Amino acid sequence: MWLWIAELVAVALVVAALPVVLVQRRAPVATLAWVLAILLLPFLGVLLFFLLSWRRPERVREKYHRKARALDERAGEWPSLDAAEEDEFAHAEFRTLAAALDRMEGFPPRPGNAVEFTADGPSFHQMLLSGIRSARDHVHLEFYIYTNDATGNAVTAALCEKARKGVECRLLLDALGAVWFHKSCLARLREAGVKVDFFHPLGPLRKRFYLNYRLHRKIAVFDGVAALTGGRNVGDEYATRRKGKRAWQDLSMFIRGPAALDLQQVFLKDWYYTTDEPIEVSRYCPPPPAAGDEVVQVLPSEPNALGSAAEFAHLLAMRSARRSLRIVTPYFVPPEPMVSALISAALSGVNVEIVVPVISDSKLSLWAGRSAYRELIEGGVRIFEYQDGMLHGKLMIVDDHWCTAGSANMDSRSFRLSFEVTCFVYSRHDIPQLLTLFDQYRSRSTPVEDPLEYEKRLRDRIFCAVTRLASPLL
């Protein structure tokens, strides 16, 4: 009897859920993945769907932009900053790409910046602490993960010290990424006067309950004139070597100049969306003086089921390559349009090289990416699996002339479900350093030469097939 009841409930769940899945606007492969999950595992599939995808990405994005427009109206006018002139671009093709990004969700390309890349964890930690300690008016931080280890405690202490001296400090954390953020640390920060809040709280009774649509950006802004961004969160694994584990490799960039103010605007909109706190924009957005001669363009992106600005920007960058395309990404689960773009570039004679970690904290993503190796390698793409620890940096170097770096991974979650930020650096000043870094990663990697390497055993073929099917949901 109970079996019959369970079967009837399963059928009822499928009948109720499938129309909701089918009418939602998303990529066909993602729709198919949800349909199969619900048909094959009715109870689990329906539960996961309503937890992860009940709220449509376009509704979340529209809500965010509605709040952003409200802040725009409150601000009146954001400070006017110069956009790069044609003669400030090293190459003419930059202008077309920069104009396309500006028409998306990005800011105009800004001249007059000084950019410093760091792949060294302790250097990033010192940059963050130095930025906090040198701030005179305000410190704005937002991270996906913030842990209560030695690194996190040092940042907490620096924030508390500045807040007690009258410097206004704000800390915005993603509620899911900061799930282990200890209440004692929160109490210390708030007691010192640091304003702390959490993006998309996880309480199921809250109006804004989301498991997807996370704040994956990493931004630190100091007095509106300097900023840190990239792939690093606040924690020992991002700052230094952890005991018993190989080093966690990552990439960050320190920007001084007008582009820092664009990152400030991203933070202020994220903060206002989360807190509704009235913000006097003019106080936090003093027009910063030129600090260098590099052109930087900031591109924030929000959830979009059919592809965010981050995805389209990466596709445009890939298609603009004429000689070489060097990519580092920790989670390589490219959507189908990106697979086609990479193969098209390789078949056109572009040297396409991708470095991904073989040691990953997401085995599903690792194997989902491997399921695309065969077609990529047969299309001329060279893939290297990094062997020396977790490689968490996100970097793309195009034609040895310019690069992109930021928080977005090369997967559907970053491109279609998360809030991300990417910086485009149209300058050759930093390229030699980044090319050396890429060569170091490649030298510590094993090339995947056999396109069938992960299809020789039946177990691996099945695992690749299942994870590939689930890749739109990862």
Active-site annotation, residues: 216, 218, 223, 392, 394, 399
CA distances from 465 to 201, 368, 415 (A): 34, 8, 22
Which pair of tokens denotes residue 332? Answer: 């390589």
Location of structure tokens 């990152």: 263
Bridge partners (DSSP) listed for residue 341: none
CA distances from 232 to 114, 170, 303, 397 (A): 20, 18, 21, 19
Furthest-apart CA atoms within the chain: distance in Å? 78
* Residue 333 identity (one-letter amino acid): V
Q: 406: left (phi > 0), else alpha (psi -120 to 50), else beta? A: left
Rg (CA), the chain: 22
- C-alpha–C-alpha distance, residues 341 and 92, integer Å: 22
CB atoms within 10 A of CB 210: 20
Task: Provide the H-helix boundaries in 306-352.
Answer: 309-320, 336-347
Find out whether 433 and 368 touch, Cβ atoms under 8 Å: no
Task: Provide the H-helix boundaries in 348-388.
Answer: 363-370, 373-378
- C-alpha–C-alpha distance, residues 254 and 134, integer Å: 14
CB atoms within 10 A of CB 304: 21
Beta strands in 210-323, from DSSP E residues, in sequence order: 219-222, 226-230, 252-256, 294-301
Half-sphere exposure of 346 (CA within 13 A, CB side): 19
